Amino acid sequence: MKSAAFVNGPMLLDSGYVTDHALLVTDGRIGAVVRDDDASLRDAEIVDLGGQLLLPGFVDVQVNGGGGVLFNDVPSMEGVRTIAHAHARFGTTGFLPTLISDDLAVVATAIAAVDESIAAGVPGVLGIHIEGPYLNERRKGVHNAEHFLELDRDAVALLCSLRRGVTLLTLAPELARPEALDQLAAAGVILSAGHTNSTASEIETARRHGLRGYTHLFNAMSQLTAREPGAVGAALGEDESYCGLIVDGRHVDPRTLKIALRARRRDRFMLVTDAMPPVGTSARSFQLQGRTISVADGYCVDEQGTLAGTALDMSMAVRNAIAMLELPPADAVRMASEHPARFLGLGASHGRLAPGCRADLLMADHGYNILATWIGGRRLDF
């Protein structure tokens, strides 16, 4: 198969942005990065970037919906495909369809839909994120507590049933038996603390039993106080787990996020959208389990003003991280690509412009607006 050579634009490599180089893609993977006068380019199909940026595709571990579809309402391959397409135009080349707390029958259907989607090759689907129903009612946010359950043996079996791809589970660790956490972690389920009222000690215990992340840090979790660090303090006090950040200016004050970024290693932070159905549409409202959710300025609220996800896309999250958090652009892009890929255990194949990685590529202008998206070397049409 003839190689494609991406030329004539700065590209973000592990070392930073480089110019005067070309990226070679063969059979859906990155084959090499060479000087733009290398002899190997003579036989390649040239993709001229026209001076625009070449970035690794974004990886979003928390996508509730898009394209007018809420995954809870349409837990099918068709629903997954619609969500994937809506987000890919904004640079998301890998994502986890995210199911918020619901009946276990819906959880089972959603797992089957993701498995079918991966088997059918729906572009960008990496697995599933199950956010609840094993959450703490005191930190429920917009989740319906009527769905909340105990993490019992049958639940563990269901949560371990995805045959293809990654399973991420958000739970309140203080409500889970350590043995259940051990079983989930041993089966490869990635455990993340969210909608939790845990003490710092309870978080530390959960970490010894497989906890690896924090879902939308600061939101819907016990806060840092003088005598009890809570889940937030536990997160900021250690460097290994990954923290998801919603950067929309509303979920968390940007000044608070800047403090978090100074408190621990930056390569353990990742941008998430927590996106809802309006992404990719002009809709100003949608239904969430019988409630009307309104959309304003990129965030979503119910009738009581409770935050209910966002209308963020990943390119907007990157731009916000640059503007609101004053991050170097390369760092913001890595928080949307390399860092979440590593969190999912996919760092060797996703999230970087490096030989051997999947050719999930973005062409962006210098304001980080997405101009073109490739998944597995194939350019998508929008």
Residue 351 placed within a domain: no
Is omega for the bond preceding 123 within 30 degrees of 0, making it cis?
A: no
Whichever domain contains 297, its CATH number is: 3.20.20.140
Same domain, 32 and 70: no
Q: What is the Cα–Cα distance from 336 to 207, expressed in whole angstroms?
A: 24
Residue 220 placed within a domain: yes
The distance between the two most distant Cα atoms of the chain, rounded to a whole number of Å, is 66
Same domain, 280 and 182: yes
Catalytic residues: 274
Same domain, 63 and 46: no
Whether 134 contacts 176, CB under 8 Å: yes
What are residue 21's DSSP bridge partners? Answer: 35
Q: Residue 255: what pLDDT?
A: 98
In the block, tokens 């380019």 appear at 41
Same domain, 70 and 51: no
Residue 348 placed within a domain: no
Same domain, 63 and 51: no
Domain range for 15 is 4-55+357-379
Closest by Cα among 166, 46, 175 to 118? 166
Q: How far is CA 345 from CA 98, 179, 340, in A?
A: 18, 23, 9
Same domain, 290 and 329: yes
Q: Residue 3: what pLDDT?
A: 92
Same domain, 101 and 12: no
Q: Residue 202: what pLDDT?
A: 98
| Sequence-distant (≥ 6) Cβ neighbours of residue 53 within 8 angstroms | 9, 10, 11, 12, 17, 362, 363, 364, 365, 366, 368
Residue 352 placed within a domain: no
Same domain, 69 and 202: yes
Angle, helices 178-186 vs 200-208, to 10°: value is 40
Same domain, 179 and 263: yes
Classify 11 as helix, strand or coil. Answer: strand
Q: What is the Cα–Cα distance from 382 to 143, expressed in whole angstroms?
A: 33
In the block, tokens 């652009």 appear at 329
Whichever domain contains 31, its CATH number is: 2.30.40.10
Classify 111 as helix, strand or coil. Answer: helix
In the block, tokens 């004053």 appear at 326
Segments of 69-184 assigned E as strands: 69-70, 92-100, 127-131, 166-171
Structure-token pair, residue 256: 């608070």
Residue 276 placed within a domain: yes
Structure-token pair, residue 327: 């991050």
| Sequence-distant (≥ 6) Cβ neighbours of residue 179 within 8 angstroms | none
State in Å, rounded, how far the first CA of the chain is from the last one.
Answer: 25
Q: How many residues does the chain have?
A: 382
Q: What is the Cα–Cα distance from 251 to 257, expressed in whole angstroms?
A: 10
Residue 350 placed within a domain: no
Q: Residue 250: what pLDDT?
A: 95
Residuewise pLDDT in 10s, the chain (382 residues): 689 999 999 999 999 999 999 999 999 999 999 999 999 899 999 999 999 999 999 999 999 999 999 999 999 999 999 999 999 999 999 999 999 999 999 999 999 999 999 999 999 999 999 999 999 999 999 999 999 999 999 999 999 999 999 999 999 999 999 999 999 999 999 999 999 999 999 999 999 999 999 999 999 999 999 999 999 999 999 999 999 999 999 999 999 999 999 999 999 999 999 999 999 999 999 999 999 999 988 889 999 999 999 999 999 999 999 999 999 999 999 999 999 999 999 999 999 999 999 999 999 999 999 999 999 999 999 8
Q: What is the Cα–Cα distance from 297 to 211, expressed in whole angstroms?
A: 33
- Count: domains in the chain: 2
Q: What is the Cα–Cα distance from 215 to 132, expressed in whole angstroms?
A: 11
